[in-house]
A and B are shown apart, each in its own frame.
Chain A
């Protein structure tokens, strides 16, 4: 198992390096000019010389290979450069926001798992019944409704019922759990509903597939209690694809809540993504893509390790 884990961790390095190179090159062909945007987007008299001087100061006029070497040589030290907009270290910009995105992703995952597991299981076990149909309608609805739109509906619902929205500005869970929960619960529900629907659908399909396997038939023929057949033999195997979905969704949520974070005025990674794209802040964008790619790779690693724990065949094959 240890050997397997080490091998998987080492494989992360070339993957992330490839991402870093591709992102650097792709962003260099994206049109736009952050200096021009900063200095002239709201009018004003800024000469071309001033714009060029500012670009030079920020290193944007350096030859591409110089920029690339500077960027790549910083990566091993965790130096992602400075944001061209705020001139603060990219790592600091991301660090200031990742906690919120992580909390939202975690809360949404917990909600999704709490909702999805009973729904997915019941839907599979009572296939073709009215209960199955109701759950299927709910879960298909969850997949069809965009999270941000549900978020907007929730805001309207809160305004119509409670009358006030939670205070703006991130409040740490440890500083004031109640206010933190007030701020996070609505976005978590709006994201968690879609998330739970995806997981429930996957779990339902997996359970149905597993339950038709020969070894389930054998277990039943041996006279095992149905509960043991379902939980021990069925669920354990049905969990493998479900865990994959949960993991990938979690990684996606770390950087993918672009619109939802904007709708709820949350200062997370998704909103930072939007800002960096709008401003053409190449350094920040590179750092964000690399961060999210790292999250995906790490989550994939954890999923693989979890697989190995659940399924001894994977360990033995490796």
Chain B
């Protein structure tokens, strides 16, 4: 925990500092060779890392690219250089200067220069027509990028941004070649040319993806001859039957039992809490929900303390309550403060009694409302059934409507629900990244409650630009308490990520997100 705090502080402190040697040769391959075969449960909708949040893209494509910064997976979220050799943040927090490692090559043999980094970030923050950048908003504070020489790139910010340095390590911000972007801004939607550890070989749509070792990889820790990934439906059978050696998204408890039983010592598991928060958004257009007491009562009927423990045994949800920020991380509300907030108290009997009284006072006894669910078993159905049962204990009458994903997301955007399951994925426990969803709907497209709360916006903006970590923490706590008490979006649970690997697969370190650490650097076959 102390290490985590130190790392985070190091990353965010805006006094002038310089980090050098982040990518000193870290080549470490106890064994080399072999093909890593793994499964992915989805198909990438694009090859363009900038235009997607899809984990499938990460699991297939990330191995081909590098980013400006990355994380030290053994000391996450400590930053280290990927193509950056060193970096410096000015004392006013408005200038970020990166020195690039020399000699880095793209897979087509051309050298990487600062112009490639500039072209990449220009594409991210200001995408040309026809190009989607789903992280455009996160880089809105960048006002300009300059390249004094081939190995130096300077980012100018219009205002300090506490998230910015971590943003340079986002795994989606793959460095593209300026030449490729100039050729066609949409070139990367269907083509791949990166500086990552493995070179793209072939993609058989709906079936498989092949990659081979990139001999000139700048870190040198690409230990495998190549990778072969396959689109799979289930994890257990292909692992047991030797068709794959790994799946990176995670397994549900019943699968783990089966795998252990069938594979014994030939399977190993790695576990971490995934930074994806499942939430229930209450529609601000639903009349009953415009009464704060009703929203709070709905939240207070849920027995998080007992229920989440049980739920975690049958699906991949975390067994303990959380606010919007992942528990035990630096900015998260401590449990003792969280458990004072309505809906998080341990005494569920008292909580429900009070909730029913509040519903009565609001004239919402036996309130009927729709709950929009996504037709995916884990963990949606499990969470939905549990929530239905909890709400009924307060005399509420929720009606679950389950739809396939394409219809579900349309309903979610159009507001065709009273309550809906929703999720907030993140790759880092950073408040700017994780609170963005809960500010007023006219400032964020992912607030599906469509509520407006200018006081929250104000706190959000203040923490975003706050350079002092302790002051920022106080603001973040203020945001958490205000948003949790307003109860427009109810945090339900984080996710437990447990991946299963064939015991031959070594050198992989699980991260707090399935979109992290997917370049297979350091992974080898024993």
Contacts and interface: CB of A to CB of B under 8 A. Distances in A.
Interface stretch (B21-29, B145-153, B401-409): B401-409
Contacts of B241: 155, 158-159, 163-165
B190 interface: yes
A33 B410 contact: yes
Interface stretch (B89-97, B216-224, B227-235): B227-235
Contacts of A87: 189-190
Contacts of B43: 85, 275
Interface string A120-139: 00000000000000000000
Contacts of A93: 205
Contacts of A166: 243
B446 A44 contact: yes
A165 B189 contact: no
Given A33-B409, A265-B232, A96 B238 contact: no
Nearest to B447: A45
Interface string B46-74: 10000111110000000000000000000
Contacts of A33: 406, 409-410, 413
Contact of A40 (B138, B237, B446): B446
Given A36-B413, A170-B207, A42 B54 contact: yes
Contact of B406 (A32, A46, A169): A32
B206 A37 contact: no
A271 interface: yes
Interface residues of B, number: 52
Contact of A34 (B39, B54, B406): B406
Contacts of B135: 44-45
A76 interface: no
Contact of A37 (B39, B190, B409): B409
Nearest to A262: B233
A37 B262 CA distance: 36
Interface string B325-343: 0000000000000000000
A47 interface: yes
A105 interface: no
Interface string B273-292: 00010000000000000000
A159 B207 contact: no
B232 A96 contact: no
A74 to B, nearest CB: 21
B119 interface: no
A237 interface: no
A169 B409 CA distance: 31
A168 B413 CA distance: 38
B445 A263 contact: no
B438 to A, nearest CB: 12
Contacts of A167: 243
A50 interface: yes
Interface of A: 31-34, 36-48, 50-51, 53-54, 57, 85-88, 93, 96-97, 155, 158-159, 163-170, 262-263, 265, 267, 271-272, 275, 277-280
B306 interface: no
Contacts of B237: 155, 159, 165
Contact of B446 (A43, A159, A265): A43
B406 A45 contact: no
B269 interface: no
Given A42-B53, A159-B237, A165-B241, A278 B204 contact: no
Contacts of A53: 132
B409 A41 contact: yes
A164 B407 contact: no
A164 B405 CA distance: 34
A279 B425 CA distance: 21
Contacts of A165: 237-238, 241-243
B376 to A, nearest CB: 10
Contacts of A85: 43, 45
Contacts of B233: 262-263, 265
A169 B37 CA distance: 11
Contacts of A44: 53, 134-135, 425, 446
B404 A32 contact: yes
Interface string B111-142: 00000000000000000001010111110000
20 contacts: A31-B406, A32-B407, A36-B410, A38-B52, A39-B132, A40-B446, A41-B54, A45-B436, A46-B132, A85-B43, A96-B204, A164-B242, A165-B243, A166-B243, A167-B243, A168-B238, A169-B230, A267-B231, A278-B404, A279-B406
A114 B241 CA distance: 30
Contacts of B207: 168-170, 267
Given A45-B138, A168-B37, A280-B407, 15 more contacts: A38-B52, A39-B53, A42-B425, A43-B424, A45-B444, A45-B446, A48-B413, A53-B132, A85-B45, A87-B189, A88-B205, A159-B237, A165-B237, A170-B207, A263-B233
A46 B205 contact: no
A164 B189 CA distance: 37
A159 B241 CA distance: 6
